A = this chain, B = another copy of it.
Amino acid sequence: MTLKKEIQKMARRARQASHLLSNLSTSVKNSALQEMAEELIRSAPQLKKANARDLSSARKAGLSSALIDRLILTDGVIQGMADSLHEVALLPDPVGQVSKMWKRPNGLWVGKMRIPLGVIGIIYESRPNVTSDAAGLCLKAGNAVILRGGSEAIHSNLAIAAILQAVGKQHGIPAAAIQVIPTVARQAVEEMLRLENYIDLIIPRGGEELIRFVVSRSKIPVIKHYKGVCHVFVDASADLAMAESICFNAKVQRPGVCNAMETLLVHRNIARQFLPRMAEKFKTAGVELRGCPEAKRLLPSIKAARKNDWGQEFLDLILAVRVVGGLDEAIGHIIQYGSSHTDSIVTQDYSNSQRFIQEVPSSTVLVNASTRFSDGYQLGLGAEIGISTTKLHAFGPMGVEDLTTSKFIVYGSGQIRQ
């Protein structure tokens, strides 16, 4: 069978499975998820054996130690995968929820009922734990999933999927509910992106290059985010101790992730008071500051920011700092340089907090809290399949509910249209 035919066959099977999955009871899905978690733990030796093959190829191919680090399946990583499946089992089942119902003048009752999206394609890099996380979330939301991980993790991903499929089978879940594309050929991805009749949604997870490739080739809707350029604006009325703690956390707690702060905006009226002590604190953590001319006057030892430092996703202990004249300038800067991801204001001013919340067009907008909370788990969604800065369907952290859509349901008593 050609690769093209093979991918088509997988997708067709996934579509068939999706009809069954959409009607699976919550208790069947939850028992399957719980048992998948237990089976992953029990199968740790097999998983590590498959993983060892990937690791050995990766070392031969000279992959960086950071990449190898992300690839490795330790007992801790396997435990984390199991924990995540247990958590997903505990989440409420969105499928079948009727969010509202209303009565039309002619007596029709019209409502919106949540249903699974159908078949989801996930294209991701390195980390094999994404395989079980994504499979668990898709199963909970009643979707079939086709997984395409990085070529360097192929044996690990296939081993994980085999375990999930075997447990699924015992619960009447067809193997086509969770499929890993069993080849590393890039052509498989291109073929997958053409199958709009079988696949409802593509979620790429990885670097900007991967995501741009997927968007440019896909005939299927893609939910994506390219980057996270998060801002914190410290307003004139801010509680400065709070501002210091939030800014430090937003920058330093985990600088390599998309919800870390990349640019600090400070109101002119408190810049002289705030910036030197904030800079002192950042110094203890080794943060490199790059300031606008006004910030540099207050902090002579820091670097001058260059034009492309604004809107830059450093993913590192580097921070651009700008002094602004007020709220309008801060919002203007965020609109110009932000990435629709996450932005926060630190303020004690009621009007400014409200204006910031309403006017900043990012997927998560916070008052007096760290940008690091922009995360499905932290916001209370339970688990997260990804973050969307595509302003469609889902915007921001996406949980189980965002793996569903709604259909109209109508209860009539013989109505016809006049």
Contacts and interface: CB of A to CB of B under 8 A. Distances in A.
B365 A409 contact: yes
A395 B274 CA distance: 49
Contact of A367 (B117, B239, B380, B412): B412
B415 A406 contact: no
Contacts of A117: 391-392
Contact of A104 (B242, B361, B379, B396): B379
A101 to B, nearest CB: 11
A246 interface: yes
A372 B118 contact: no
Contact of A22 (B357, B361, B366, B369): B361
Nearest to A22: B361
Contacts of A46: none
B417 A373 contact: yes
A216 B219 contact: yes
Contact of A246 (B242, B365, B396, B416): B416
Interface stretch (A5-13, A108-116, A181-189): A108-116
B221 A390 contact: yes
Among A219, A364, A405, residue most surrounded by chain B Cβ atoms (within 10 Å): A405
A76 interface: no
Contacts of A22: 359, 361
Contacts of A74: none
Contact of A379 (B110, B246, B378, B391): B110
A280 to B, nearest CB: 18
A284 interface: no
A215 B369 CA distance: 40
A34 interface: no
A23 interface: yes
Contacts of A242: 414
A201 to B, nearest CB: 6
A414 B246 contact: yes
A408 B246 contact: no
B358 A412 contact: no
A66 B183 CA distance: 52
A19 interface: yes
Given A392-B393, A416-B249, A410 B215 contact: no
Contact of A365 (B96, B108, B407): B407
Contacts of A23: 358-359
Nearest to A18: B361
B408 A245 contact: no
A106 to B, nearest CB: 9
B118 A412 contact: no
A216 B220 CA distance: 10
Given A201-B392, A379-B104, A391-B118, A407 B245 contact: no
Nearest to A254: B417
Given A19-B361, A216-B219, A357-B409, 17 more contacts: A23-B358, A104-B379, A200-B392, A221-B221, A248-B416, A361-B407, A362-B407, A364-B407, A367-B411, A369-B412, A369-B415, A370-B417, A372-B417, A373-B412, A373-B415, A374-B408, A393-B393
Give me the 3 closest cross-chain CB pairs, A-B, nearest first. A369-B412, A249-B416, A393-B393
9 contacts: A23-B358, A96-B358, A104-B379, A200-B391, A242-B414, A245-B416, A368-B415, A369-B414, A397-B408
